[in-house]
Amino acid sequence: MRTAYKVRVYPTEQQAAVLTRTFGCVRLVWNKVLAWRHARYHQEGLKTSYAETDRYLTELKRDPEFAFLYQVSSVPLQQTLRHQYTAFVNFFAGRARYPRFKSRHGRQSATYTRSAFRWRDGRLYLAKMDGPLRLVWSWPDVDPATLTPTTVTISRDGDGRWYASLAVDTDTEPEPMSATGRAVGVDLGVKDFAVTSDGERIPNPRHLERKLRNLARYQRRTARRQRGSANREKAKAKVAAAHRKVRNARRDFLHKTTTRLVRDHDVIAIEDLNVRGMVRNRRLARAISDCAWGEFRTLLEYKCERYGRRLVVIDRWHPTSKTCSACGHLLAELSLSTRHWTCPSCGTRHDRDVNAAKNILAAGRAVSACGADVRHSGSSRVRSAVKQEAQPVRAGIPRL
């Protein structure tokens, strides 16, 4: 199993200069190779392999104009070629967008493999540096001297903070959590971040909205500064620090929420939301992005896999809000503004979100029973088990 430890790093002035030079060379290689790959495809119709980019980097180093590339370690430069190759593989597979050029503004990073760093007694030595990097270890129950990192990624955020991410391969798998015998359906929303089938409402902390006033003030202050001045850089650092606080608070909330759900339930059912399509709504785009539903699902997936839980993702087209969780009656229409409704078949009064969470749980249990593929990705895939079942009809109204 692979895990990672991200720690704060405090480089000296000389070390910071070496790392800054490395970031610039990594960015240059990425942009040069990307431009060459793009022109080669559009002008000659040729695809570019990793070996060809490697040879291009060698020719680039031989150019006297780029002789400064020899001043930094060659490993981060090779790694950026591998990252770009992976980015194109993900793009052609439909998992990511087209790779973009890197900017000198914002977050910078460089990745070192084992041939370019040493990890001795919990101290990190990087290539082209004389002494170790000073870092702060934040896991008192883990002895850093016992770790054997495979890769190290050094990064610097826009606010000037330095970090090191240590990727570690371990042979020991974490012990599965004891069974609880409980299952839960989770309906995600904006007003309430999540509503469970048990009736629990998890409030939406709205981290970005609470910081918008300060963030807007810092952005106005940055706009008034002269471009290229030191004061503008200081103002930009404050904007980056405000975004960092929002990002860290959001990540902390997501980790605590997902950890509690995984600890208390054996089966967790959620809905396959089309977040990319939903953020196209100009009125709700910022609120939806602030919820970070995609990151919530990613955290749930790896935590369920790590601790022996099961995550079931039901079809996004399943009418969870319009279906009565008591009798299965399906409404013809249900507007988004309607938060409560009464079933015309059995008379049950429903809260829209709690009812949707109950239907998500029922669909998840049906999927767990038959093992069908519940993710909808066009007509080539099998629809969810609930969708495949025969639908009994009474008085012209379909029922699930």
Contact 363, 372 (CB under 8 A): no
d(CA 363, CA 383): 12
| Listed residue (163, 150, 166) closest to 11, CA to CA | 163
Length of the chain: 400
**Distances in whole angstroms, Cα of residue 394 to Cα of each of 237, 320, 333, 343:** 64, 20, 18, 15
The DSSP call for residue 136 is E
Residue 254, SS3?
helix
Catalytic residue among 157, 271, 290, 315: 271
d(CA 247, CA 295): 12
Catalytic residue among 157, 290, 315, 353: 353
Amino acid at position 26, single letter: V
| Listed residue (184, 183, 181) closest to 354, CA to CA | 184
Say how many CA atoms lie within 13 Å of 365 toward its Cβ: 11
Catalytic residue among 157, 187, 290, 315: 187
d(CA 313, CA 384): 10
Amino acid at position 399, single letter: R
Contact 343, 321 (CB under 8 A): no
Q: Using only the alpha carbons of the chain, give its radius of gyration.
A: 26
Verify whether residue 252 is a known catalytic residue. Answer: no
Q: How many Cβ atoms sit within 10 Å of the Cβ of residue 157?
A: 18
Verify whether residue 353 is a known catalytic residue. Answer: yes
Q: Which residues have a catalytic role annotated?
A: 187, 271, 353
